[in-house]
């Protein structure tokens, strides 16, 4: 009964704002992608040595990201996803 | 007469509306199909389009549409006596708002869950869509200004409301942080948050706060208006999860608690209605009841704003088409119930006719929210034994929180529109978050102070706000009618309320225009003329769109 109430409240809390929260989250993620792949699009990044390590983890989102950023094709030559 | 009669009338009318009229609409007009696959399934994305349980969808649809308006509107309109307000709220909810909200939800779910604005362009045409955008911007501008003014006045009338109102902001931010950053269970957070809110109400009642009567040449109402809009500006650029979401949530919870407490108190106290059925002696400056009653009570009888919610978010989460009947129609019934509670508080919450007349007999429009808190608190004291000052603070805070959450969201929406204009017309300055927020807040402040009374006496724009809200409702009904004509279904269910709204709105605008002219208030004259122009365009557009749709339907 208590668990059901908790579930009900959770839905009541989240349902109206799912879209807004997801969009806010995506904005943050996009900025993070830009930081990680900044050297690749020609922006010098002093932390490139460290962000390089993260790149393989983010490759699967790379295509969606560059499309969303208005670049129809992969912005780099050495990594082409499309 | 006992106020329980109002409760009985309300329950009977709303039940009959739901069990008979909405059934008729569902079966004969909208022809809801349990096998129709809703956009929540066909376009499911886990973000906007998500099939949601019926009771949850109803809960948040209702709390999204319920606001301060169904309290303030009836709170002002009982000046003409309780009977006209009661009749308009019951008839309006059953035959106007119910059809409007239910219909908007159905039409949107039949069109990929698109918003009424987008549907206007698709079904009626691009010209109607432009009118729609203008009406929405004017409506937002007025909502924000009016609600800012109402909160300012209420903080002065009930100084004990100050502490709880502002503590809620802190509580909401802590809740948002606990949930998103600490992953705490919502159930416990809710219990703690609601306890702190009611604790703050008690603290507020013990420690009322008043601003100095003058500061930098601003009177107290003006000071509050400035503080509120500075807050609204900041709130509108904070992340949604940090403030808006937890604030809306607490508001929803306290809506259900407050409404339940008030109705239980009415049943236990059985207060006597002291206001007259028809007030033969309204204040000298009160406008004629027809047509002003029908724009003074907008939300609670019919409100265009509901169409935005129904088609904007609710329709994307509708699990099965037949749910539209419960979610849409019962959503408007919920709003009607809140309006009914306001009528009871403002007509039966006073000790005697002399007390009531002392409040309402002075000048029009009376502070509806103040009457609600004062009247409701006496009913709660008699029915539940709650101390008068605690109950008054609780009800004032309930109204203020409604107004404040609407303002938070309203300023944010205004900013989006300004940013969009910046993109459309290629003005990069407007697309920035800070500049667009400043313009949104600045325009609201301009209207709040431009309306007169140093930012405090500007409830005078309330009927103008109601008019633009009704106009938006008329636009939605027009879209629905054209859609029904195209489907070759009976249209009287939407044409009758649509005609009524237009016939009432235009004279109401002309009467108000005369008042603004006499006061030589050019800002309000311009606003009134803009809305009047939009109303006439809506009427003309409706006639031409119906003709076009009929010809198309006949040809097909």
- To probe the interface with A, which of B180, B181, B239, B315 has the most A CB atoms within 10 Å? B239
Is the preceding peptide bond at B291 cis, omega within 30 degrees of 0?
Answer: yes
Rounded distance between C-alpha atoms, residue B287 and residue B364, angstroms: 8
DSSP class of residue B325 equals I
Q: What is the pLDDT of residue B458?
A: 61
Helices B330-348 and B305-312: crossing angle, nearest 10°? 150
Q: What is the pLDDT of residue B174?
A: 93
Q: Quick check: B133 pLDDT over 90? A: no
Q: Which residues of B touch A19 (CB under 8 A)?
A: 47-48, 313
Q: Of how many residues is chain B composed?
A: 556
φ, ψ of residue B214 in degrees (nearest 5) = -150, 135
CB B189 within 8 A of CB B196: no
When pLDDT is averaged across residues B19-25 and rounded to a whole number, the result is 97
- To probe the interface with B, which of A13, A24, A25, A31 has the most B CB atoms within 10 Å? A13
For chain B, the domains span 4-555
Q: Quick check: B47 pLDDT over 80? A: no
Rounded distance between C-alpha atoms, residue B473 and residue B461, angstroms: 19
Q: Which residues of A touch B57 (CB under 8 A)?
A: 15
B245/A21 Cβ within 8 A: yes
Q: What is the pLDDT of residue B453?
A: 66
Is the preceding peptide bond at B365 cis, omega within 30 degrees of 0?
Answer: yes
Neighbours of A2 (CB within 10 A): 7
Alpha-carbon torsion angle B45, B47, B49, B50, nearest 10: 90
Closest CA–CA distance from residue A78 to any residue of chain B (Å): 32
pLDDT, averaged across chain A: 84
- 3-state secondary structure (DSSP) of residue B2: strand
Q: What is the pLDDT of residue A43?
A: 85
| Model confidence pLDDT, tens digit, residues B226-240 | 999 999 999 888 888
When pLDDT is averaged across residues B299-312 and rounded to a whole number, the result is 91
Q: What is the pLDDT of residue B220?
A: 87
Q: What is the pLDDT of residue B504?
A: 94
For A9, the closest of B53, B190, B240 (CB atoms) is: B190
- To probe the interface with A, which of B43, B45, B53, B60 has the most A CB atoms within 10 Å? B60
| Model confidence pLDDT, tens digit, residues B253-295 | 988 899 999 999 999 999 999 999 999 999 988 899 999 999 9
Rounded distance between C-alpha atoms, residue B89 and residue B101, angstroms: 15
- 3-state secondary structure (DSSP) of residue B403: helix
| Model confidence pLDDT, tens digit, residues B335-355 | 999 999 999 999 999 999 999
Reported as a pLDDT band with limits 50, 70 and 90, residue B456 is: low
For B187, the closest of A9, A20, A22 (CB atoms) is: A9
Q: Quick check: B457 pLDDT over 70? A: no
Reported as a pLDDT band with limits 50, 70 and 90, residue B66 is: confident
Q: What is the pLDDT of residue B223?
A: 93
What residues are paired with B215 via a beta bridge?
B218
| Cα nearest neighbour of B52 on chain A | A15
| pLDDT < 50 positions in chain A | none
ipTM: 0.77
| Model confidence pLDDT, tens digit, residues A37-58 | 888 778 888 988 888 888 888 8
Q: Quick check: B170 pLDDT over 60? A: yes
Reported as a pLDDT band with limits 50, 70 and 90, residue B14 is: very high
């Amino acid at each position: 009964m208590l668990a059901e109430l908790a579930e009900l409240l959770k839905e009541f809390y989240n349902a109206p704002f799912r879209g807004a929260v997801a969009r806010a989250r995506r904005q943050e993620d996009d900025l993070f992608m830009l930081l990680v792949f900044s050297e690749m699009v020609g922006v010098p990044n002093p932390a490139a040595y460290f962000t390089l390590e993260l790149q393989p983890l983010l490759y699967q989102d790379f295509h969606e990201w560059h499309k969303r950023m208005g670049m129809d094709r992969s912005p780099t030559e050495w990594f082409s996803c499309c | 007469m006992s106020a329980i009669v109002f409760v009985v009338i309300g329950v009977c009318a709303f039940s009959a509306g739901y069990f008979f009229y909405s059934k008729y609409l569902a079966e004969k007009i909208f022809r809801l199909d349990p096998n129709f696959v809703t956009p929540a399934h066909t376009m499911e994305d886990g973000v906007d389009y998500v099939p949601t349980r019926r009771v949850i969808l109803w809960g948040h649809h209702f709390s999204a549409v319920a606001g301060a308006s169904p309290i303030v509107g009836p709170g002002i309109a009982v000046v003409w006596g309780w009977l006209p307000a009661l009749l308009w709220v019951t008839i309006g909810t059953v035959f106007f708002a119910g059809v409007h909200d239910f219909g908007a939800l159905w039409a949107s779910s039949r069109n990929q869950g698109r918003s009424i604005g987008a549907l206007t362009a698709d079904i009626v045409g691009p010209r109607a869509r432009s009118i729609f955008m203008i009406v929405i911007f004017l409506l937002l501008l007025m909502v924000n200004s009016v609600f800012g003014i109402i909160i300012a006045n209420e903080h002065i009338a009930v100084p004990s409301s100050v502490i709880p109102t502002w503590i809620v902001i802190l509580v909401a931010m802590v809740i948002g942080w606990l949930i998103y950053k600490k992953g705490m269970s919502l159930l416990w957070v809710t219990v703690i948050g609601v306890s702190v809110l009611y604790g703050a109400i008690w603290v507020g009642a013990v420690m009322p706060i008043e601003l100095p009567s003058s500061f930098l040449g601003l009177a107290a109402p003006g000071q509050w208006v400035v503080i509120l809009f500075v807050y609204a500006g900041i709130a509108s650029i904070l992340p949604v999860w940090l403030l808006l979401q937890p604030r809306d949530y607490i508001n929803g919870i306290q809506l259900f608690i407050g409404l339940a407490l008030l109705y239980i108190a009415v049943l236990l106290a059985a207060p006597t209605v002291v206001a007259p059925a028809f007030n033969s002696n309204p204040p000298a400056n009160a406008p004629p009841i027809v047509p002003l009653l029908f724009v003074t009570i907008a939300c609670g009888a019919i409100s265009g704003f509901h169409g935005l919610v129904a088609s904007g978010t609710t329709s994307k989460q509708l699990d099965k088409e037949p749910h539209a009947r419960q979610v849409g129609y019962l959503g408007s019934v919920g709003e009607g119930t809140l309006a009914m509670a306001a009528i009871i508080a403002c007509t039966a919450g006073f000790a005697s006719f002399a007390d009531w007349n002392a409040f309402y007999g002075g000048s029009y429009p009376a502070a509806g929210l103040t009457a609600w808190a004062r009247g409701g608190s006496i009913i709660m004291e008699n029915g539940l034994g709650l101390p008068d000052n605690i109950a008054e603070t609780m009800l004032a805070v309930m109204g203020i929180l409604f107004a404040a959450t609407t303002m938070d969201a309203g300023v944010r929406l205004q900013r989006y529109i300004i940013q969009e204009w910046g993109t459309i017309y290629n003005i990069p300055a407007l697309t920035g978050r800070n500049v667009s927020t400043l313009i949104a807040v600045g325009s609201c402040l301009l209207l709040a102070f431009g309306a007169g009374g140093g930012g405090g006496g500007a409830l005078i724009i309330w009927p103008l706000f109601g008019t633009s809200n009704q106009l938006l409702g008329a636009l939605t009904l027009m879209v629905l009618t054209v859609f029904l004509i195209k489907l070759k279904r009976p249209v009287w269910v939407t044409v009758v309320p649509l005609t009524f709204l237009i016939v009432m709105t235009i004279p109401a605008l002309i009467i108000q225009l005369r008042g603004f002219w006499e006061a030589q208030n050019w800002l309000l004259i311009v606003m009134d003329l803009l809305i009047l122009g939009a109303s006439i365009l809506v009427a003309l557009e409706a006639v031409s769109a119906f003709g076009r749709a009929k010809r198309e339907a006949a040809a097909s």
